Amino acid sequence: QITLKESGPTLVKPTQTLTLTCTFSGFSLSTSGVGVGWIRQPPGKALEWLALIYWDDDKRYSPSLKSRLTITKDTSKNQVVLTMTNMDPVDTATYYCAHSILGGYYYGMDVWGQGTTVTVSS
Amino acid sequence: EIVLTQSPGTLSLSPGERATLSCRASQSVSSSYLAWYQQKPGQAPRLLIYGASSRATGIPDRFSGSGSGTDFTLTISRLEPEDFAVYYCQQYGSSTGYTFGQGTKLEIK
């Protein structure tokens, strides 16, 4: 059974850096095709994909946020970490991590964490 | 950057009716890389369809996906009360990543 859980601060101040951790179980991030992604959702708004890291350490970022994002993995700890710099109140959102498989086919983000709410305010 | 435009923004239907949701891409998308999700209030999204037309594990067969190129459709053949939610399409592109549409809210009429 695959599970993922997000953790991190619930409140950050403007200009600070946000660090979120996704801790997962039931799969290995060293298995070919496997990836873990981050997605966020501001209150009452649509989903926004942020970043994804693959089993081979290939990384993809949202073009509009690329300069502020860094995604890394620790395979031994079964964790993926997302950092977002220069936080602003518009970054207030629920942040999700999700499991994904990509090969010659995209199998979607099939298992999601419960999400963690981050508020940006002074 | 590929933009996904979903229509309508809100769809009002009654249980038992057929729902047709549209997702249009600003440029051609491989069918292999198109997915649909359902999200209910306070919950994480749930994968419904991948590869434009393949149902994810445990998804009822009243949900079906179709389309190619720039036009994709999610159809719910006979709406159940639990189907009223927000639906998102998503595409993967090697240079643009995993873009989501803005969502269609399916509400009870």
Each residue of B15-56: pLDDT tens digit? 999 999 999 999 999 888 999 999 999 999 999 999 999 999
Average pLDDT, chain B: 96
Beta pairing, strands B10-13 & B104-108: parallel
Beta pairing, strands B4-7 & B19-29: antiparallel
A106 and B32 within 8 Å at the Cβ level: the answer is yes
Contact A109, A37 (CB under 8 A): yes
User: What pLDDT is recorded for position A104?
Assistant: 76
Tell me the shortest Cα–Cα distance from B58 to chain A, in angstroms.
11
Q: Is A107 on the interface with B (CB under 8 A)?
A: yes
User: What pLDDT is recorded for position A105?
Assistant: 82
Contact A9, A17 (CB under 8 A): no
Query: Among A36, A49, A17, which residue's Cα sits nearest to residue A118?
Result: A17
Which of the two residues, A90 and B95, has the higher pLDDT score? A90
Q: Which residues of chain A have pLDDT under 70?
A: none
Contact A21, A12 (CB under 8 A): no
User: What pLDDT is recorded for position B70?
Assistant: 96
B97 and A61 within 8 Å at the Cβ level: the answer is yes
